[in-house]
Amino acid sequence: MKILRVDMDRLQVEWEPVSPEYERLGGRALIAGIMLAEVPPECDALGPKNKLVFAPGLLGGTNLSSSGRLSVGGKSPLTNGVKEANTGGSGGADLARLGVKALVVEGQPADGKLYQLYISDAGAELLPADDWRGLGTYATAARAQERWGAGCTVISIGQAGEFLMGAAGVACTGVGEQDCRVAARGGLGALMGSKGLKAIVLDAAPGTALAAEPVPLADPELFRASARRFANELIESPKTGRKGAMHTYGTSAIVAAVNEMGAFPTRNFSEGSFEAADNLTGQRLREITLARGGKVGTTCMAGCVIACCNVFVDEAGEPIVSTLQYETIGLLGANLGIGSLDEVARLNRLCNDYGLDSIEAGAALGVAAEAGLARFGDEAGFAALLDEIAAGSVMGRVLGQGAAVAGRVLGVSRVPVAKGQAMPAYDPRALKGNGVTYGTSPMGADHTAGNAFGSRGVVNPLGIEGQRELSLDLQLGAAMLDTTGLCLFSRPPVFGDPQLMVDLLNGRYGWGWSVADLEEMKKSVLRMELEFNEKAGHTAADARMPEYMTREPLPPHNTVFDVPDSEMDAVFAAL
Amino acid sequence: MKILRVDMDRLQVEWEPVSPEYERLGGRALIAGIMLAEVPPECDALGPKNKLVFAPGLLGGTNLSSSGRLSVGGKSPLTNGVKEANTGGSGGADLARLGVKALVVEGQPADGKLYQLYISDAGAELLPADDWRGLGTYATAARAQERWGAGCTVISIGQAGEFLMGAAGVACTGVGEQDCRVAARGGLGALMGSKGLKAIVLDAAPGTALAAEPVPLADPELFRASARRFANELIESPKTGRKGAMHTYGTSAIVAAVNEMGAFPTRNFSEGSFEAADNLTGQRLREITLARGGKVGTTCMAGCVIACCNVFVDEAGEPIVSTLQYETIGLLGANLGIGSLDEVARLNRLCNDYGLDSIEAGAALGVAAEAGLARFGDEAGFAALLDEIAAGSVMGRVLGQGAAVAGRVLGVSRVPVAKGQAMPAYDPRALKGNGVTYGTSPMGADHTAGNAFGSRGVVNPLGIEGQRELSLDLQLGAAMLDTTGLCLFSRPPVFGDPQLMVDLLNGRYGWGWSVADLEEMKKSVLRMELEFNEKAGHTAADARMPEYMTREPLPPHNTVFDVPDSEMDAVFAAL
């Protein structure tokens, strides 16, 4: 595999061998390594010194189930630290099959124009795309697939990324029609916009020679046996198997439980349970979808045995979004006082089309409602605000910058952010482990960086004890998944048996790793990220929940976030 | 003297003896001391844990010339560090004469209403002022003086402070009619707004018993002799005397020189000299003013022997602003491409009335022009934007937050800020010592925190060598002036002979200080502030110029800011 350098200053591409320092890194770890080695941590996140990196995980491109997530990263304009956001879809596998260990976008075009990058087995080339300016991500994908073939993967930004908005994500097509996956968090779409890159087209479609030939394996037998075991465990698990909640209901399976535990963000995080939550549950989503001829149990990546996705359709059976997910239901639903999956799905489609992180945008809309710019529960009002974002009006530019800027500009003090980034759909006053993760993770408030929801039976979510240790453990696990390209949902087999992950890596690369090497890898990811962030200016003062959450009790438990600063500051003591 | 505590939670006032820790602190030093001892550095600057402090300098309330500056401070919503901004006018002297060593405003009113604080020799009381909501500072002062007497000093916020805007300052009436002085920098008006405090009325007017009785002196003879020597030196100096540039032209005396050296911010800091600068000079200001029957050589504080102020009038002889100053001419003039003092004065009046820092507002308007929201040179366009700020529209709220937020929201990369605060009217690419001060001073980009302009003959403003040492020296000097309440213009006698300052302090307080004690005091101010800021999360990454200034050459010298990071980071090595 090679590193593909894209120099936007000179509009040139260059293939580079992988240096020994990067050899054993992938996905999130490779992003951390590149950022630390090549990018001045103090740089302007939207300036020419920052780099935008796309990297498949270490296991990307193989036939391992659920292993094709695409990591996107750089210095975040929201957190001002290193950021990795990953997405399903076909981008991770295709990039790996095209032999790209990392795609590194550098500099900025002097002409201020937009470009597209086309990568196939014949090489890579930068081409003009200024006529795509102002297109949403659906239209961009359609134009690109029209030109390069329907089987191509298209990674793109919408209007939000062009406008350099902090809520802008990077969209990626998936295996199904209308699929829109987003590497959403941290404003990486703005970073892509700052590079003048409208789209990346990966031409490794089914049917080409590339797709047929998976990435090489050092020990095919070990790898295949381990991959089989991995898939079987997922299939046989009551959670991830065909009868499990994940396949049956998708990520929205947890709506009822989070609402029940009082951590479901409602009306700008002012309450923890939503009176209309019953209309937002996974069960309801399944019923509606099946009744209308939509789909449930679809996959975002070819060959995934979990298959947690859906194609949510309107009453006429026309797709609205694929896939409708938990965090979106939380942030664009309860958080906006909206108790209808149709309304959530329509707002979600707007976010996808405009290239917006539905979490950051939903949180900004919640703040806007608190400032009186829309009414909670009013889909049309929120849709109009999203349209302002796409139009680039001053109002839209405020909201498009995300919740923190919106709160500051609009004079709202109840702003659910950590490290400048909006919280996902778990209020940390009722799930305190997540507060520890939001505050301390190098990723900021992020539902995939060490989510304590799944451990609510192990550590009391309302208590203080054990949260610190739990958060660190989950953060290390997340680092491993994000480095190998595995989906968060496929964690049980490798969390339960680390040797399985070691076997997969040894089968793929022949490194002869032990479990100790794997543990060291997990730690090293966090260490690199923490080092970058420290040099970028992060301090303990950033590892805090918003002050109002320490003062304002959250119904129904009426708890505040009270994990002491000393606990927050000790999370990485043993790292 | 006493500390006057104003508890906005319970709407109560309390007089408190001065604790030994605060005894030898005044003005800026006292603010630093109170912040460090009483305010959690990580707190939300606009939340209830922050405190707003008003303090005269150590020599405030005496008859010493130029000693009545009023320090206003707290944790800044712009820099997120401790901030002191001071102002002329009658506030400093009056507060000292009312026996108030510091007025400390704490908490936030639960009812969200506005209040006024009235202080006289009979005591202090909090009274409703919600019917003043939405008034500008001129109208607020008029209402307050109507109620409490024309001789009262009125300290107030305008619409900008009520809207919690980062560009909001704290306005203070002066000795002349229509005088509007502003403790402008750092968004302290927003802090005052967050406390629900619309105005503070100081009733120590000429004619009352209080005014007739100056503050007590420990050694009246020593003090009076030293004060006489101080005044004489100012009067006899070719700079500050009656024939000097300061008295003759006021602060605008330096327009021509800064323009000549290529450091005069022009059209959003894109050039360093302005083709119409001749129309903005101190000479021009004097000519126009005298021809129209305005005034030059007026004072902002009773008894000041320098008298550098003016009453700038329109063609009909009606006052527009009092006083029109250099930084304002730079930021609302050349920086907006405006080459007319009348136009600058009218924009300045709007800023004063709305309670805006003319530096921060001018910088935000420059960024707005770069984003296409107004045309450089178009007064009416900029006035309309200022009106948006006062109206609290979304556009106005963006600009009212200052240059950094405006740049981020509007997608502009050329944003002249340091530590989140707009630069005053010296481009650091052509006056590099100021870049060192902007970056390293605990105050952020501030023209009174260690301004290297006056030392341009000693240290080459375009060179690197000596800037670090110069900046530290100037920062220490500024700390002394801001602690004692002296005007920056009155520095020559005490900079030239530190013993004179020691004699003044010993004459006032009988501390028996030596020059070494004075030197230690200067250092301790910076040390306290740096400690607070470090705990608040400031790091070396904050001690930088905006990245574009290190890359984009500034005409006419075509220099970039190239003082190495290592030099910036070594400024306080010997502190």
B112 class by beta-carbon count within 10 Å (0-12 exposed, 13-18 middle, 19+ buried): exposed
- What is the distance between the alpha carbons of residues A231 and A229, in angstroms, rounded to a whole number? 5
- What is the distance between the alpha carbons of residues A84 and A147, in angstroms, rounded to a whole number? 30
- Contacting residues of B for A47, CB less than 8 Å apart: 413, 547-548
Inter-chain Cβ pairs, chain A and chain B, closer than 8 A = 82
Residue A77: closest C-alpha in chain B: B408
Cβ contact, residue pair B44, A537, below 8 Å? no
Give per-residue pLDDT as tens, B26-37. 999 999 999 999
B371 touches chain A (CB under 8 A): no
Cβ contact, residue pair B541, A537, below 8 Å? yes
Q: Is the pLDDT of residue B574 over 60?
A: yes
- Contacting residues of A for B548, CB less than 8 Å apart: 44, 47
Residues listed for chain A: 575
B97 touches chain A (CB under 8 A): no
Reported as type and span, the H/E element at residue A227 is helix A220-236
- What is the distance between the alpha carbons of residues A34 and A13, in angstroms, rounded to a whole number? 17
A163 touches chain B (CB under 8 A): yes
CA angle (A512 as vertex; A507, A517 as ends), nearest 5: 110
Residue B412: closest C-alpha in chain A: A164
In the block, residue with structure tokens 């260990």: A101
- What is the distance between the alpha carbons of residues B415 and B412, in angstroms, rounded to a whole number? 7
What would the mean pLDDT of A144-171 be, rounded to a whole number? Answer: 97
pLDDT at position A303? 87
| From A409, A540, A548, residue closest to B405, measured CB to CB | A409
- What string of DSSP letters covers B162-221? HTT-TTB-EEE--SSTTB-EEE-GGGHHHHHHHTTEEEEEEE--TTSHHHHSPPP-SSHH
pLDDT at position A209? 54
- Whether residue B461 has a cis bond before it, omega within 30° of 0: no
- What is the distance between the alpha carbons of residues A246 and A251, in angstroms, rounded to a whole number? 6
CA angle (A539 as vertex; A533, A543 as ends), nearest 5: 95
- What is the distance between the alpha carbons of residues B32 and B24, in angstroms, rounded to a whole number? 12
Asked whether the beta carbons of A132 and A199 are under 8 A apart, the reply is yes
- Whether residue B556 has a cis bond before it, omega within 30° of 0: yes
A284: left (phi over 0), alpha (psi -120 to 50) or beta: alpha
Q: How many Cβ atoms from other residues are within 10 Å of residue A209's Cβ?
A: 8
> pLDDT higher for B204 or B326?
B326
- What is the distance between the alpha carbons of residues B198 and B116, in angstroms, rounded to a whole number? 6
Give per-residue pLDDT as tens, A55-114. 999 999 999 999 999 999 999 999 999 999 999 999 999 999 999 999 999 999 999 999
Reported as type and span, the H/E element at residue B6 is strand B2-7
| From B44, B411, B551, residue closest to A163, measured CB to CB | B411
β-pair partners for B116: B127, B199
Q: In the structure encoding, which two tokens stand for residue B384, read together?
A: 């309309």
pLDDT at position A126? 98
CA angle (A129 as vertex; A126, A134 as ends), nearest 5: 145
B400 min Cα distance to partner chain A (Å): 8
Asked whether the beta carbons of A108 and A8 are under 8 A apart, the reply is yes
- What is the distance between the alpha carbons of residues B384 and B401, in angstroms, rounded to a whole number? 16
Cβ contact, residue pair A548, B49, below 8 Å? no
Asked whether the beta carbons of A341 and A358 are under 8 A apart, the reply is no
B109 touches chain A (CB under 8 A): no
B535 touches chain A (CB under 8 A): yes
Q: Is the pLDDT of residue A334 over 80?
A: yes
Cβ contact, residue pair A405, B409, below 8 Å? yes
B249 class by beta-carbon count within 10 Å (0-12 exposed, 13-18 middle, 19+ buried): buried
Nearest to B7 by CA among B78, B118, B152, B106: B106
A5 touches chain B (CB under 8 A): no
Phi, psi of B14 (to 5 degrees): -150, 135
B478 class by beta-carbon count within 10 Å (0-12 exposed, 13-18 middle, 19+ buried): buried
A359 min Cα distance to partner chain B (Å): 19
- What is the distance between the alpha carbons of residues A437 and A446, in angstroms, rounded to a whole number? 8
B73 touches chain A (CB under 8 A): no
- What is the distance between the alpha carbons of residues A84 and A75, in angstroms, rounded to a whole number? 9
pLDDT at position A214? 72
Q: Best interface-test mutation with A: which of B547, B552, B566, B568 has the largest number of A CBs within 10 A?
A: B547
Cβ contact, residue pair B411, A164, below 8 Å? yes
B414 touches chain A (CB under 8 A): no
Nearest to B76 by CA among B296, B357, B324: B357
Reported as type and span, the H/E element at residue A505 is helix A498-509
Residue B81: closest C-alpha in chain A: A541
B405 touches chain A (CB under 8 A): yes
B112 min Cα distance to partner chain A (Å): 13
Asked whether the beta carbons of B318 and B351 are under 8 A apart, the reply is no
pLDDT at position A207? 59
A543 touches chain B (CB under 8 A): no
Is the four-CA dihedral B485, B490, B492, B498 of positive or negative sign? Answer: negative
B548 min Cα distance to partner chain A (Å): 8
- Contacting residues of B for A542, CB less than 8 Å apart: 537
- Contacting residues of A for B47, CB less than 8 Å apart: 413, 547-548
What would the mean pLDDT of B81-96 be, rounded to a whole number? Answer: 95
Reported as type and span, the H/E element at residue A183 is strand A181-183
Cβ contact, residue pair B44, A546, below 8 Å? yes
- Residues in Cβ contact with B469 at an 8 Å cutoff, skipping those fewer than 6 apart: none
Amino acid present at A544: R
In the block, residue with structure tokens 């670090």: B468
B49 class by beta-carbon count within 10 Å (0-12 exposed, 13-18 middle, 19+ buried): middle
- What is the distance between the alpha carbons of residues A94 and A70, in angstroms, rounded to a whole number? 9
Split at pLDDT 50, 70, 90, the class of B209 is low
Asked whether the beta carbons of B561 and B429 are under 8 A apart, the reply is yes
Asked whether the beta carbons of A385 and A396 are under 8 A apart, the reply is yes
Asked whether the beta carbons of A46 and A52 are under 8 A apart, the reply is no
What's chain A's average pLDDT? 96
B323: left (phi over 0), alpha (psi -120 to 50) or beta: beta
Q: Is the pLDDT of residue A213 over 60?
A: no
- What string of DSSP letters covers B496-539? H-HHHHHHHHHHHH-----HHHHHHHHHHHHHHHHHHHHHHT--
Cβ contact, residue pair B410, A401, below 8 Å? no
B411 touches chain A (CB under 8 A): yes
What would the mean pLDDT of B191-198 be, rounded to a whole number? Answer: 98
pLDDT at position A473? 98
| Residues 13-72, chain A, touching B (beta carbon < 8 A) | 41-44, 46-49
Residues listed for chain B: 575
pLDDT at position A401? 98
Q: Is the pLDDT of residue B213 over 60?
A: no
| From A164, A405, A539, residue closest to B537, measured CB to CB | A539
Give per-residue pLDDT as tens, B387-424. 999 999 999 999 999 999 999 999 999 999 999 999 99
What's the pTM?
0.97
- Contacting residues of B for A539, CB less than 8 Å apart: 537, 539
Asked whether the beta carbons of A476 and A523 are under 8 A apart, the reply is yes
Name the DSSP letter for residue A332.
I
In the block, residue with structure tokens 């000179």: A10
Cβ contact, residue pair B537, A541, below 8 Å? yes
Q: Give SS3 for A234.
A: helix
CA B279 to chain centroid: 25
- What is the distance between the alpha carbons of residues A352 and A367, in angstroms, rounded to a whole number? 20
Q: State how far the alpha carbon of B406 is from the alpha carbons of B349, B409, B411, in Å.
A: 22, 5, 8
Give per-residue pLDDT as tens, A233-277. 999 999 899 999 999 999 999 999 999 999 999 999 999 999 999
Q: Is the pLDDT of residue A208 over 70?
A: no
Nearest to B33 by CA among B481, B511, B529: B529
Q: Given the DSSP bridges, would you call strands B100-106 and B153-156 parallel, antiparallel or unpaired?
A: unpaired
B427 min Cα distance to partner chain A (Å): 19
Q: In the structure encoding, which two tokens stand for residue A388, read together?
A: 């302002």
- Residues in Cβ contact with B547 at an 8 Å cutoff, skipping those fewer than 6 apart: A43, A44, A47, A49
Q: Kindly state the greatest CA–CA separation across chain A.
A: 62
- What is the distance between the alpha carbons of residues A204 and A152, in angstroms, rounded to a whole number? 7
Q: Is the pLDDT of residue B540 over 80?
A: yes
Asked whether the beta carbons of B322 and B174 are under 8 A apart, the reply is yes
- What is the distance between the alpha carbons of residues A193 and A168, in angstroms, rounded to a whole number? 9
